[in-house]
């Protein structure tokens, strides 16, 4: 079972921007092969960093407004938020070690 929770356009503000904990947002879609391939690494990071980092998944197909507003042009895209501000971003496949490197400075 994943520690990563799903977020939508409706709850992005409350769950991500207003979070007291740094947040990694996985922008993905069901039809995206690389997104599906990355899911185990994202889930592993969510479990490993529980309590220090909130990991959420945002389905760009079902909730397109937030990724459009953030200028997300391709998926998978991982975005780190801290204090309501974007502090890191990577587009493309990442290993769990790469994910640790992206979030490490912010937790």
CB 88 within 8 A of CB 103: yes
Give Cα 58 to chain centroid, integer Å: 7
Q: What is the 3-state secondary structure (H, E, C) of 51-86?
A: CCCEEEEEECCCCCHHHHHCCCCCCCEEEEEECCEE
Q: First CA to last CA across the chain, in angstroms? A: 23
The verdict on whether 32 is a catalytic residue reads yes
Catalytic residue among 25, 35, 38, 53: 35
Q: What is the Rg, in whole angstroms, of the alpha carbon atoms belonging to the chain? A: 12
Catalytic residue among 6, 8, 29, 32: 32
The verdict on whether 17 is a catalytic residue reads no
Q: Which residues are catalytic?
A: 32, 35
């Amino acid at each position: 079972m994943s520690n990563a929770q799903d977020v939508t356009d409706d709850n992005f503000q409350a769950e991500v921007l207003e979070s007291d904990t740094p947040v990694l947002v996985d922008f993905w879609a069901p039809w995206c092969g690389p997104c599906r391939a990355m899911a185990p690494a994202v889930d592993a990071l969510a479990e490993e960093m529980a309590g220090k980092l909130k990991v959420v998944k945002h389905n760009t197909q079902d909730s397109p407004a937030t990724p459009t507003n953030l200028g997300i042009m391709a998926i998978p895209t991982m975005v780190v938020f801290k204090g309501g501000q974007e502090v890191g971003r990577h587009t493309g496949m990442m290993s769990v070690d790469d994910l640790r490197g992206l979030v490490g400075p912010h937790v």
